[in-house]
A and B are shown apart, each in its own frame.
Chain A
Amino acid sequence: MALGITFIYSIVRLINWAMGAFYMVGSYLQFILVTQVFGVDRWWLAVPCSVALVFVLGALLEPILIRPMFAGNVERKDEYATVVTIALLLFMTAVASGISGPYQRTPGSNLGTIVLGPLPVSGARFAALVVALVALGLFYLFIKRTWLGMALRAAADSRTGVQIAGVDLARIDQFAFGGGVALAALAGALLAPVFLVFPTNGAMTTTKGFEIIIIGGLGSIPGALAGGLLLGVVESLGTVLIAPQYQNAYGFLLVLLILLVRPVGLFGKRLREV
């Protein structure tokens, strides 16, 4: 999730507040595909389909909602991006609960409980971890080995530079937006059996994503990975050592601590804005 937010931010230079909504859509698509089309045993087939559909959705929405920001007719770009993506979040959440109601659903899982060393782990959780790692590997290969991946990395370095090289920046933005929300949908689809499917199920993951970004530093991909790890450790430690019901508060305390000692995050650059 944090990777998706960072991915969009580093290229399109905006925070997409609606990430949670795409997570939610990913989980709903997974639910529908598993229960209506593929069946529980072929859940792994449903995952790429859900992700691909959300990618298309993101790529379709970008030109309508985000591109006007760069066309020069928007006076305050940040304000525009923030309000529009928050409105999009509310819109998608409201439509979801309008259609499906507030019920919590689950696509079910064909995986039983696995015992890993001393710890029993739910199969679905474990599968989510494995698939997420595989997907991150593929994402890494895509970014490192393909022309498009190279252009995306280049655009994160310099938006002017890629235009000079002859890249159509509008297409890159569209792809990056689609790709970023597809990453959110991947999380949504994989975690659907664990955290269930309901209209606001993306909120918690988005919050974790933002916390990770402050911890790791805005716009830094290694920061996102390290921040995620640190957040996970602190939350589990807090759960074990203090009290489990405040699990979500530990992360925020960590954020406050980071802001106090190193406001730009672990991997952020110290930059005075001009």
Chain B
Amino acid sequence: MLLEVRGVSKRFGGLQATRDVSLALNAGEIRGLIGPNGAGKTTLANLITGIYAPDSGEIRLRERRIDGARPSAIAHRGLLRTFQNTRLFGNLSARENLLVTIYAWCGLAAAARMRDEAERRAAHLLQLTRLDAVAELPARALSGGQRALLQLASGFMHPELALYVLDEPFAGINPVFVETILELLEHHRKHRGVAYLVVSHEMEIMRRICDRVAVMIEGAIFLEGSLEEIVADEAVIDAYLGRI
């Protein structure tokens, strides 16, 4: 088992953001996470990646507890994430944005040794994402689609990437970029066994890529299954109608 989330709850003041969420992922799996607005999807992503510490419950990555650990420590173990509103290091060049991931993983002491390897990986990813023409531009000068692509690509620089949490990776992105993103996901899944937890409302894409989908409603996992099973479930449609 790659990721195990067991009975995780988080409360913000009066709002129960997630309640008793359990979720398990195997290596190489793509799991979709859908649900109405405010269902707690982003909160769950934040809990898994260490931005929040859960109030109760535990999270394990390859059997080892990661709940309560700092995001940098979790990232070090191969669990990375993207942010819904693309976040990049705006004043670093596109190439540097990629390099940072690998240096953060190996540490400064080993950075010099990793330099050639890092540059090679970066060049490869820049080529795959067709960002090589803008490689030396500061990231803030890139277009919205290019930025989203770069954010995603930066995670693939991690040499031991095991699980990649993607928060709305396709929102507002030009279809051409979407295809590139999907190619990247598939490539790293096939060759490295990377697993993905994808939060998205782009159902057409989710249907294409996800093995299974989890529906979150009111902070809890309501149902898990294939997208067909979920669409066939009257209770899910009720939930989307607002009938809880």
Contacts and interface: CB of A to CB of B under 8 A. Distances in A.
A–B contact via C-beta, under 8 angstroms: yes
Interface of A: 272, 274
A77 to B, nearest CB: 14
A180 to B, nearest CB: 28
A268 to B, nearest CB: 16
Nearest to A272: B52
Interface of B: 46, 51-53
Nearest to B51: A274
Q: What 6 pairs across the A-B complex have the smallest Cβ distances?
A: A274-B51, A272-B52, A274-B46, A272-B51, A274-B52, A272-B53
6 contacts: A272-B51, A272-B52, A272-B53, A274-B46, A274-B51, A274-B52
A274 B49 CA distance: 12
Nearest to A273: B51
Secondary structure dominating the interface of A: loop
Contacts of A274: 46, 51-52
A153 to B, nearest CB: 19
A272 B71 CA distance: 12
Contacts of A272: 51-53
Contacts of B46: 274
Nearest to B42: A274
A274 to B, nearest CB: 6
Contacts of B53: 272
B57 to A, nearest CB: 18
A272 B52 CA distance: 8
Contacts of B51: 272, 274
A274 B52 CA distance: 9
Contacts of B52: 272, 274
B18 to A, nearest CB: 15
A272 B53 CA distance: 10
A272 B46 CA distance: 12
A42 B46 CA distance: 62
A272 B51 CA distance: 8
A257 B135 CA distance: 47
B236 to A, nearest CB: 30
Nearest to A274: B51
B92 to A, nearest CB: 14
A249 B157 CA distance: 49
Nearest to B52: A272
A274 B167 CA distance: 15
A271 to B, nearest CB: 10
A247 B103 CA distance: 47
A51 B46 CA distance: 48
A272 to B, nearest CB: 7
